[in-house]
Amino acid sequence: MQRLSGLLIFAALACIFGAFSLIMPIYAQPTTTATPPTTYGASAQIAAPSNTGIAKPSFDLKPGKAIYKILLEVGGRKIEMTKTTEITDAGKNWKISETSQSPMGSVTDESEVVKGTLAPVKRRMKQGPMNIALDYNGSNVKGSVESPMGNTKIDKDVEGTLFADGTGTSTILATLPLAEGYKTTFQNFDMMAQTAKQLELAVVGTEEITVPAGKFMAYKVEVKPLGGDAGASTIWVAKEGGKLLKERQSIPQMNGAVVTSELQ
């Protein structure tokens, strides 16, 4: 069986952190119901729900920690990992930190977002010799990607605002006013194209799911790039408490690899 390269493992870990859209385009060719834990997640209400429009959180984040069990399936192999997501108070901002442990070592990924709007402020990510640094200033994104394959500098203005761009992407998406029929759009920064990438989020139903943390009624939410690009994902968010319970993402650039995360 062919051994996964360090780069593919890194790409998978990056995907787990929500960084896949940043990294992989540079190096790959495009192709008893339980009560949800309250350690972190939604907090003070910000905006009334809406069934369509631009993404805007209805609840803020709050401090706390959650641990997720990760399964990467690719090329007939299954690789198990764990990820810890922690939210801490950073003055005017929230600091979102994610740490993953895998057979290839650890990955650390930290971002800051503005309290209330959850707009991205900065991001720092490290795995082995790979380092990513991004700073967001309004419509400008500036930073660098450093790796043994070379260094890439970034300094780009984008149209519109970025949302859920960086660490804890799905945790931030869970703060939206999810409801039956809810649909919205948002955009992330596409590093390869040096422009904003449009995505659509839609609640496609509700269902009861079981994860290591227990059994929950959840909104099933699909997220996909607009324009027919590959890279769709599905997340399950607890109807009560807005907790991120589960996430599944396909990675076409990794021969159809699938990454599944479940709350422990």
Given a cut of 80, whether residue 25 has pLDDT beyond it is: no
pLDDT the model gives residue 11: 52
Domain assignment of residue 168, yes or no: yes
In sequence order, what are the beta bridge partners of 132? 125, 145
- 256 three-state secondary structure: coil
- The answer as to whether 184 is a domain residue is yes
Q: Stretch 182-202: mean pLDDT, rounded?
A: 89
The yes-or-no verdict on residue 34 having pLDDT over 70 is: no
Q: Are 18 and 97 in contact (CB under 8 A)?
A: no
8-state DSSP, 40: S
Give the long-range contacts of residues 116-122, CB within 8 A, separation 24 or more: 116/46, 116/57, 116/60, 117/56, 117/57, 118/57, 118/60, 118/61, 118/94, 118/163, 118/164, 118/172, 118/175, 119/161, 119/162, 119/163, 120/162, 120/163, 120/165, 120/166, 121/93
* Cβ contacts of 60 within 8 Å, gap of 6 or more: 42, 43, 44, 46, 94, 115, 116, 118, 175
- Domain residues for 84? 6-263
Is residue 28 scored above 50 in pLDDT? Answer: no
Whether 99 and 106 have beta carbons less than 8 Å apart is answered as yes
Position 256 in a domain: yes
Give the pLDDT band of residue 18 (cuts 50, 70, 90).
low
Q: What angle do CA 99, 191, 168 make, to 5 degrees?
A: 30
Whether residue 1 is contained in a domain is answered as: no
The total domain count for the chain is 1
Does residue 64 register a pLDDT over 50? yes
Decide: 15 and 28 in contact? Cβ < 8 Å. Answer: no
Structure tokens at 184: 């919205």
What is the bridge-based pairing of β-strands 64-74 and 183-190?
unpaired
Q: Looking at the chain, how many residues does it have?
A: 264
In angstroms, rounded to a whole number, what is the distance separating the alpha carbons of residues 190 and 178?
A: 25
pTM (predicted TM-score): 0.83
C-alpha torsion angle, residues 238, 215, 257, 70 (rounded to 10): 90
